Amino acid sequence: MKPVIFTDLDGTLLDDGYSFEAALPVIRRIKDESIPLVPVTSKTRAEVERVRELLGVGGPFITENGGGVFIPDGAFPFPVRGEDAGGMKLIRLGTSYEVLKSALAEIRKETGFRITGFADLTPEEITERTGLPLADAVLSKEREFDEPFFLESGSVEEVGLLAESVGLTLTRGKILHLTGDNDKGRAVETLKTLYRALYGKAIFIGLGDRGNDVPLLKNVDYPVLVRGEEGGYEPVEGVPKLIKADGAGPVGWAKAVTGILDTIKASGSYTC
């Protein structure tokens, strides 16, 4: 069976300084053994393409909390249905960005809460609020399926209920996100079907660090929760056989991936 790794980025494969240096030896192993490494993130396509370039990996990826599944042309030796998207197929699962921005504006108007979305901020202001490098903050504004926002006054619960009343979802990552009826789990399931068609049998590994990663963790064979930089683990419920990584960010990521791959290999079912 072929391993396939689905991974969150911020706080998981990337540390709080947005570095993956601690995971580099394991990433080299993954590439040497031709194991698919699939980013599953709240980041935009432009941000993920930059990270993939730095990592030196290709293949499919999932953006904006499961809003879009991007599959490079030729990634699978069979036709993949989707929209043409500049050398890729896009399987669109999320709600359009314009709808999300309008909905957030309506919630702001109806409640009087102080709500600031990425659409309201310059790249410099996003950098100031999030710590993202400026180049990444520029790319973070190229949004398609997800609006990150800051709730500076008011009730998260009330915002969530209003979002649900119009068919949208409040998702919590490092900050709050307004999305459609999509999540990381649905997007992962979409790609699992394609990988099974490619390999016949596959073993799916998933890594995340926050509540918005729970749908991802529920849809893999080896779910891994990476410890936060502050030293604790996010509360996670409903994930059978959850593995807690021994370390924060890419340190914990590397230890967990190494242990799982070694376990699979020792079982005799590992296909490189």
- Tokens 């699992």 map to which residue? 192
Tell me, letter by letter, the H, E, C secondary structure of the chain.
Answer: CEEEEEECCECCCECCCCCCHHHHHHHHHHHHCCCCEEEECCCCHHHHHHHHHHHCCCCCEEEHHHCEEEEECCCCCCCCCCEECCCEEEEECCCCHHHHHHHHHHHHHHHCCCEEEHHHCCHHHHHHHHCCCHHHHHHHCCCCCEEEEEECCCCHHHHHHHHHHCCCEEEECCCEEEECCCCHHHHHHHHHHHHHHHHCCEEEEEEECCHHHHHHHCCCCEEEEEECCCCCCCCCCCCCCCEEEEEEHHHHHHHHHHHHHHHHHHCCCCCC
Q: Tell me the catalytic residues.
A: 8
